[in-house]
Amino acid sequence: MNHFRAVLSLLPRRLRSPSWLTVTRTCPSVSSMEPVVVRCSPGEPKLTISFRLDGSSKHMQRELDEPLSKALTRISNGIIKNQGKAKKKKTKNEAEEPESPENSTVKLLLDGSEVSGELPNSEAWQDGAVLQVGDQSFSVSRNPPTFTTAELPVSVLAGFPVCPKLEVEFGNLEDCEFTWFKENFSRPDAGDGPRHDSPWTEVGRSRVYVPSNQDIGHRLKLVCTAKDGGRTGLAKELVSVSTVEAGPGVCTCDNRHQYTMREAEWPTMRVVSYNILADIYAKTELSRTVLYTYCAPYALELDYRQNLIKKELAGYNADIICLQEVDKAVFVDSLVPALDAFGLDGVFRIKEKQHEGLATFYRRSKFNFLSSHDIMLSEVLTSDPIHSELLQKLSLSVSLKEKMLQRSTSLQVSILEDRTKPGRKVCVANTHLFWHPTGGNIRLFQMGVALKHLNHVISEVAPGAPLVFCGDFNSTPSSGVFQLVRETSVPQQHPDWSSSGPSESCNMELLSGFPPLLSACGEPAYTNYVGGFNGCLDYIFIQPGLMKVEQVIPLPSHQEVTTYEALPSVAHPSDHIALVCDLHWVP
């Protein structure tokens, strides 16, 4: 085992996010010889050779086209040098004359025959070859399936899925094997008990584990073995730093999950739109002391909220998920590992000047990702000629134009192809419009740019594709934005044109360029519920001629939302409520 630990310690490792912390140990595969791991990645100019000899780690990089003989000589010289150092040290300690280092014969064998020293390293170091160093033999494992990242989350709650962050090189996560264990006893530092390692009991054999109440107070251990088809690589052992803690009990999503226990069947797709509340906003002093004073401080912590978010999203069994206010680190370290385990791939669009953005996930068994056409709305307004007319009208108000161009609002656009019916595409759009209560005029311009861009993308790359437009539009059903989408135009008399005062009034008629769109989930009383405000701000817009609504998942009851006064709470991770609906392709 010590040999394997040392070998893996020499392989490249990735930096860990502070949101993840795991005690990691390495376990060996069954083998009659100690391994020498050879990593030869396509596109890289060198290969690495790693093994342990006499308690010392050997690790070297060699050119691919270098003759094998030079690599073997380098190994031999290194061994002789180390032997000399060891004997000098012994001589000094024992006051004896130094002895000459012993010669160390180093050979590489394949199928019992010595490999020619003239062969380049790229060809010589084959899987299954044997490296002989004196009287010791090492089995060559070339590009074995290897976990480059394997970590458990810090916070583990009973009733909530534990999704390890995993990345594998030369392997396939779907082929890998996973075994979960729990400690039979509480950790020694948790109270009275024996001061030694506790034995473990197996509790699961899947990539994701949901702890039960019986696991509370116990640490978890995951043994994961990297594989690629029939090839088996090294295993890693992960032990959670913290013990399993009690969950909050009933969450606002639990009753909703009764409607989404199974995936939607083709030709139906399940769509989710959800502002998950970025950590950079939740952890501010303003949030804790003004906006969300009713929320328990621990319930605003990212690790806690991520448990709730992952459980909620996994339970919807969605085919398309559009998220807003996604911290970049949350996307990479939490959402991607979790949703990948449930069959979804994702793309991310950062909001310029911010550390949060938009994320769109899609079920890979149902969709192929074809292309993305993301934009920053203010940027294309001045750079893309298709928006020249809108820019000209905006320029009539210098101060309003300045405000508009300062906004970093983005539009994420993904073209997906139906895998069941190749050639059939859907345009999935995701956005989060300007938030300020007096920003109705800015939101109108933002929506005008977004719709123009979407019209252009569909006509150019996916003619006839239906539009599914998700987001936090920060617009109530009485707003100009909602009227633009539902009625295809906004008249110049609409009050939103003067929302920030007469000096920034920009009265004009704005056309959507689309037929009337439908709010798939209707007009709920609210999708955002905080201490000082509640209202409907989030929508999933569709083209009724190309998509029809098959099912709308009921929102949490008012009693559920207000159990802890408002949102977020210990039972709900965001100040918004997810919209969930089943949409049916229209033939």
Instruction: For residues 374-400, give the mean pLDDT.
Output: 96
Instruction: For residues 171-191, give the mean pLDDT.
Output: 82
Residue 355 vs residue 243, higher pLDDT: 243
Q: Is the pLDDT of residue 86 over 90?
A: no
Distance in angstroms (rounded) separating the CA atoms of residues 496 and 285? 31
Q: Is the pLDDT of residue 96 over 90?
A: no
Please give the positions annotated as active site: 472
Percent of the chain with pLDDT over 90: 82
User: Can you list the alpha helix ranges (DSSP code H) found in 13-96?
Assistant: 68-94
Q: Which amino acid is at 33?
A: M
Cβ atoms within 10 Å, residue 98: 12
Q: Is the pLDDT of residue 246 over 80?
A: yes
Beta bridge partners of 472: 432, 538
Instruction: For residues 472-495, give the mean pLDDT.
Output: 97
Instruction: For residues 534-556, give the mean pLDDT.
Output: 97
Beta bridge partners of 534: 529
Q: Is the pLDDT of residue 171 over 50?
A: yes
Query: Is the preceding peptide bond at 35 cis, omega within 30 degrees of 0?
Result: no
Place of tokens 């005029």: 441
pLDDT, tens only, 260-277: 999 999 999 999 999 999
Percent of the chain with pLDDT over 70: 88
pLDDT band at 8 (very low <50, low <70, confident <90, very high): very low
Distance in angstroms (rounded) separating the CA atoms of residues 118 and 67? 5
Place of tokens 């040098």: 81
Q: Is the pLDDT of residue 251 over 90?
A: yes
In this predicted structure, what is the pLDDT of residue 82?
66
pLDDT, tens only, 40-83: 999 999 999 999 888 888 899 999 999 999 999 999 888 877 66
pLDDT band at 431 (very low <50, low <70, confident <90, very high): very high
In this predicted structure, what is the pLDDT of residue 53?
86
Q: Is the pLDDT of residue 25 over 70?
A: no
Upper half-sphere CA count for residue 76 (Cβ side, 13 Å):
15
In this predicted structure, what is the pLDDT of residue 232?
93
In this predicted structure, what is the pLDDT of residue 290?
92
User: What Å distances lie between residue 536 and 291, 293, 529, 578, 585, CA to CA?
Assistant: 18, 22, 9, 12, 26
Place of tokens 């319930």: 299
pTM for the whole structure = 0.87
Cβ atoms within 10 Å, residue 166: 22
Secondary structure in 3-state letters for 122-177: HHHCCCCCEEEECCEEEEEEECCCEEEEEECECCCECCCCECCEEEEECCCCCCCE
- What six digits make up the tokens of 20? 């993840």
Instruction: For residues 305-312, give the mean pLDDT.
Output: 98
pLDDT band at 135 (very low <50, low <70, confident <90, very high): confident
In this predicted structure, what is the pLDDT of residue 57?
85
| DSSP-derived secondary structure letter, 1 | -
pLDDT band at 341 (very low <50, low <70, confident <90, very high): very high
In this predicted structure, what is the pLDDT of residue 100?
39
In this predicted structure, what is the pLDDT of residue 54?
80
In this predicted structure, what is the pLDDT of residue 198?
58
Distance in angstroms (rounded) separating the CA atoms of residues 447 and 510? 10
Q: Phi, psi at residue 428, to the nearest 5°?
A: -105, 120
Q: Is the pLDDT of residue 15 over 70?
A: no
Q: Is the pLDDT of residue 87 over 90?
A: no
Instruction: For residues 219-226, give the mean pLDDT.
Output: 97
In this predicted structure, what is the pLDDT of residue 27?
42
Place of tokens 């934009």: 375
Mean pLDDT computed over every residue of the chain = 90
Q: Is the pLDDT of residue 197 over 70?
A: no
